[in-house]
Chain A
C-alpha cells in the first residue's frame, strides 16, 4: 500500500477485514453549522480500538470509537449525534459549535 492508500479509511477497512480483524465504519450523515468534516467523511475502527480517518477532525472521535466497539459486538448499527445543543457536548462536544450526525455500522 502507498502512503495515500494507508491514509484512506475505506481501503484500510478492506485490508483490515481481509486480515481477519473486526471492523466498524462510521460515516458523517448530516452536519449543521460549522462542522469540521463534510457529510460523507469516514472513520474506520477495528475491534481493538485502532482507527483511521476522521468524522470531526479529532473532537468526537473518542466517543465514536467507544460506540463502534459496541456496534462490532452487537452487529446492530447506531446513529450518533454530537453538538453544542446536546448534553453530551459538554463531555465530547464540537469546539467549532456545529452539530453532526454519525452513522456507525459493522463491516460484515
Chain B
C-alpha cells in the first residue's frame, strides 16, 4: 500500500465517510473506493455488497484474488427531545450497538436525573448541529412534537442524507410538518423519506414500545440502505 492511499483512507475515516480498500493479493496493488464513487462490473457489485454488509472478505474476480476491507463509520442515533420515549430509547440503543445523543433545549426535560449515563445536550438543535453535524451514518429521530425544536433538525437530516429520519406525530400533525419543510426548501422526495408516524407498525402503545419500534426501524433502514449505485 502507498502512503497516498492510506492518507485518502484516513481522511475519509476522519470525516465519517465509508470506504472500501481493494487489495490485489498477487500484485500488492491497492485502490481506495469511497462510498458514492462509481464502481461498475462484477467488482462494483462486490464493493456495493461490502458497503451494505460492512464485512471484509476475499473475492475472486476474473482469476484475481482481491481482498475487500470495509471501513464504515460507527452508526449513531441523534434524538431531538428528552421525552419519555427517549428515556427508553437511550437504554435500548447501546444494546443494538448504536451510540446515542439527545438534544433538547428545555432544561426541565433534559436533566441528568432522567438520563443518567446518557449523552445529553440541553441546547437548541440549530446550535448543536453546527458543531456536531449530522451525516449519512446517523439516524435522526425527532420526538418533541414541537416544530420550533424538531423542524430545523429534520430539515438538516434530510439535507445531509441521514440514513434514517423519523418524526413523532399523528398523520394530521405530519401533514402540517410537510408544508413547513417545503417552505424550508426541502423537496418532496426528501420529505417522503421521513418515517411518520415513527416506528415499525407493531402496535406499539407505551413509550418503551414506541422506542423499540423506532429502534427496529432504524436497524432496518441501516441494513437495507443502498447508497452505492453501480454505474
Contacts and interface: CB of A to CB of B under 8 A. Distances in A.
Contacts of B69: 27, 40
Interface of A: 10-11, 13-14, 17-18, 25, 27, 29-30, 38-40, 76-77, 79, 103, 105, 107-108
A11 B1 contact: no
Contacts of B13: 10-11
A105 B27 CA distance: 11
A10 B6 contact: yes
A14 B28 contact: no
Interface in B40-67: 55-58, 67
A103 B67 contact: yes
A10 B2 contact: no
Contacts, number: 47
B38 interface: no
16 contacts: A10-B6, A14-B3, A14-B6, A14-B7, A17-B3, A25-B1, A25-B6, A29-B58, A30-B57, A30-B58, A40-B56, A40-B70, A103-B23, A107-B2, A108-B2, A108-B3
Interface string B185-219: 00000000000000000000000000000000000
A56 to B, nearest CB: 16
B3 A107 contact: yes
B28 A105 contact: yes
Contact of A17 (B6, B56, B57): B6
User: Which 6 A-B pairs have CB atoms at the shortest separation, nearest pair first?
Assistant: A40-B56, A39-B56, A40-B69, A108-B2, A77-B28, A17-B3
Contacts of A29: 25, 58, 67
B170 interface: no
B116 to A, nearest CB: 24
A27 B69 CA distance: 9
Contacts of B7: 14
Nearest to A108: B2
B9 interface: yes
Given A10-B9, A10-B13, A27-B67, A38 B56 contact: yes
B25 A79 contact: yes
A76 B142 CA distance: 53
B10 interface: yes
A30 B58 CA distance: 8
